[in-house]
Amino acid sequence: MPSNKTILSAVQPTGQLTIGNYLGAIKNWIGLQEDNNCIYFVVDMHALTTRHVAADLRKSVYSSVALYLACGLDPEKSTLYIQSHLPQHAELSWLLSCYTMHGELSRMTQFKDKSAKNVENINAGLFNYPVLMAADILLFNTDVVPVGDDQKQHLELARDVATRFNGIYGDTFTVPEGFHTKEGARIMSLQDPTIKMSKSDPNGGACAFLLDSRDDIIRKFKRAVTDSGNEIIAAPDKPGVMNLLNIYAAFTGQAVAQAEADFAGKGYGDFKLAVGEVVSDALAPIQTRHAEFMSDRAQLDDIVKMGAEKAYPLARKTLGKVYKRVGLR
């Protein structure tokens, strides 16, 4: 695990956060904040690439901040704020777009996937999304970015743009490294374990959300797709069972091999119920704390304001350096 580094990560506020978001990102942030300069924020500007109701977006933004806090992020140890509260994100994004090639953006698989799913709204913001992400990262001279498999391509673009800019104007940006956690980093759909769990999945049973009720969580796991045969083992030909074993291991802190041993000789019904119970038990205290934070909007406003005030000097310094390099005052 990194130490004495500037670490940055964020999650979109659109939709509810899933256990995949928690295990693959937020849970890992908690340990990182102890020995690093951690910057975490809600990327509300990224959320604008899809059509939405303004009031719903505002509520989702605050709910995301409350979830960060409920999961254990400490605003005294980390910098926690809302992306749109710092205009430097958008300003640097425009500058970097002038040093990002059209061909690079055309190759982004996430753009292709989202365009295929939403053919009525293939907007320029969706195409330029990776540039804003690069600006998010490079704005703070980030050393390390905790990243899942689906974001590796975007991080590589940020690295390429930073290297290109540095090659033209001299040492300006830190070229960030990725940090990938293995256990629980990629949680798959409960209904199609060949694809990643996604909060935008139209099948509500495919995702377990952090704010789902206990009954809903257990119901979803009882209906989770498993595989032929009856052995509970992590094997390539058993993606459904392997996904549930990964989830169980991640929430209990056990190795997958130990989880396999726990369920040796048991049937799928008992196995899926046990996974659902472990997940709901782990999420119960998070849900309680989330409700407490959401009941005090003034406290949330104070926390994100403090975070933005901590982040502003860093963002302003980087943007000022970039302006000077390219000849702007």
Question: Looking at the predicted structure, is the pLDDT value of residue 273 above 80?
Answer: yes
How high does pLDDT run on average in the chain? 91
pLDDT tens-digit map of 75-128: 999 999 999 999 999 999 999 999 999 999 988 887 777 777 777 878 888 889
Do the domain assignments include residue 29?
yes
The answer to whether residues 133 and 158 touch, using CB atoms and an 8 Å cutoff, is yes
**Model-level pTM greater than 0.95?**
no
Q: For residue 17, what pLDDT is reported?
A: 85
- Check 77, 199, 310, 317 and give the catalytic one: 199
The amino acid occupying position 31 is G
DSSP string, 6-74: EEEEEE--SSPPBHHHIIIIIHHHHHHTTSSEEEEEE-TTGGGGS---HHHHHHHHHHHHHHHHHHT--
Do the domain assignments include residue 185?
no
- Check 77, 196, 310, 317 and give the catalytic one: 196
Going across the sheet that includes 177-179, the strands are 78-82, 37-42, 6-11, 144-146, 177-179
Return the CATH number at 112.
3.40.50.620
Cα 324–chain centre separation: 33
Q: Do 117 and 156 fall within a single domain?
A: yes
Q: Do 261 and 124 fall within a single domain?
A: no
Q: For residue 114, what pLDDT is reported?
A: 73
Reported as type and span, the H/E element at residue 325 is helix 297-326
pLDDT tens-digit map of 111-125: 777 777 777 878 888
59 is catalytic: no
Q: Do 95 and 174 fall within a single domain?
A: yes
Do the domain assignments include residue 187?
no
Q: For residue 71, what pLDDT is reported?
A: 93
DSSP string, 196-211: B--TT-S-GGG--BTT
238 is catalytic: no
Q: Do 36 and 72 fall within a single domain?
A: yes
Q: Do 119 and 245 fall within a single domain?
A: no
**Domain containing residue 254:** 204-291
The amino acid occupying position 269 is G
Confidence of residue 198 (pLDDT cuts 50, 70, 90): confident
- Check 5, 27, 114, 220 and give the catalytic one: 114
Q: Do 275 and 169 fall within a single domain?
A: no
pLDDT tens-digit map of 23-59: 888 888 888 898 999 999 999 999 888 888 999 999 9
- Comparing CA positions, the residue from 239, 244, 199 lying closest to residue 25 is 199
Q: Do 317 and 285 fall within a single domain?
A: no
Q: Which residue has the tokens 């909007």?
A: 297
Q: For residue 184, what pLDDT is reported?
A: 47
152 is catalytic: no
**What integer is the mean pLDDT of 61-88?**
95
Q: For residue 120, what pLDDT is reported?
A: 81
**How many structural domains is the chain composed of?**
2
Q: For residue 172, what pLDDT is reported?
A: 97
Confidence of residue 211 (pLDDT cuts 50, 70, 90): very high
**What integer is the mean pLDDT of 206-223?**
96
pLDDT tens-digit map of 137-159: 999 999 999 876 667 888 999 99
Largest CA distance in the chain: 70
- Which residues sit opposite 144 in a β-bridge? 7, 177
Q: Do 91 and 230 fall within a single domain?
A: no
pLDDT tens-digit map of 162-186: 999 999 999 999 999 998 755 445 7
**What integer is the mean pLDDT of 210-236?**
93
Q: What's the distance, Cα to Cα, between the start and end of the chain in Å?
A: 40
Pairwise CA distance, residues 23 & 255, whole Å: 14
Return the CATH number at 208.
1.10.240.10
Q: For residue 182, what pLDDT is reported?
A: 54
The amino acid occupying position 80 is L
Q: Do 167 and 92 fall within a single domain?
A: yes
